Amino acid sequence: MTRVGIKPGVTYHPGYLSADQQGVLLAALAAILREAPFFTPRMPRTGKPFSVRMTNCGKLGWVSDEGGYRYQETHPETGRPWPAMPRILIAAWQELAPEAPLPEACLVNYYAGGARMSLHQDRDEQDFGAPVLSLSLGDTAVFRIGGTARRDPTTSLKLSSGDALVFGGPARLAFHGIDRVLTGSSTLLAQAGLDGGRINLTLRRVSPA
């Protein structure tokens, strides 16, 4: 397994998921979407829609609307519990974050067209001891990560389909985001009936062990 240290606390695993594993994960995602379809999160207070659509799997799911950012146990539109987290995701967490307690949430963000994600911190969890694990499927994205202050210098790298990224420890609260998606760089998501784009799966531990 290839492992590249980007900065303290940030590790990049290019090609972590093989083509076959990506197919398995894509099939699992198709089942998740039948039970918990994509919804469009909205900004707190203003209600402005995000450019990404999303869903979740696991015990908890992250949502955002006029009431704020939060984790909850049910889909905001259907009211149903989130689907269980696929075994392939649990296995990835156990391999890449072996000392951390099991994840409770997996955010599934779908980047289509000109979707992007501005620099932000993942800080809605109750405990920051466990790292964040990110897995990419579909089109390549230009990912940017900085320090724990918004104006800290940033590093950019391209995340391709099958890549994994882990950030924790001194980088657990690092600002990070997606500057752009390289449209047409992969045909993987067409297999799931999606019109291209990129899916990012972000596994998180929400509460203390």
The answer as to whether 151 is a domain residue is yes
Calculate mean pLDDT across residues 128-135.
Answer: 98
The answer as to whether 180 is a domain residue is yes
**pTM for this predicted structure:** 0.96
Could you tell me what percent of the chain has a pLDDT over 70?
Answer: 100
pLDDT single digits (tens) 63-72: 999 999 999 9
Residue 101 has pLDDT above 90, yes or no: yes
The answer as to whether 123 is a domain residue is yes
Mean of the per-residue pLDDT values for the chain?
96
The answer as to whether 179 is a domain residue is yes
The answer as to whether 209 is a domain residue is no
The answer as to whether 109 is a domain residue is yes
Could you tell me what percent of the chain has a pLDDT over 90?
Answer: 94
Which position has the higher pLDDT, 113 or 10? 10
pLDDT single digits (tens) 111-128: 998 899 999 999 999 999
SS (H, E, C) the chain: CCCEEEECCEEEECCCCCHHHHHHHHHHHHHHHHHCCCECCECCCCCCECCCEEEEECCEEEEEECCEEEEECECCCCCCECCCCCHHHHHHHHHHCCCCCCCCEEEEEEECCCCCEEEECCCCCCCCCCCEEEEEEECCEEEEECCCCCCCCCEEEEECCCCEEEECHHHCCCCEEEEEECCCCCCHHHHHCCCCCEEEEEEECCCCC
CATH number of the domain at 104, please: 2.60.120.590
| Residues spanned by the domain of 81 | 4-204
The answer as to whether 186 is a domain residue is yes
| Domain count along the chain | 1
pLDDT single digits (tens) 143-197: 999 999 999 999 999 999 999 999 999 999 999 999 999 999 999 998 878 889 9
pLDDT score for 192: 79
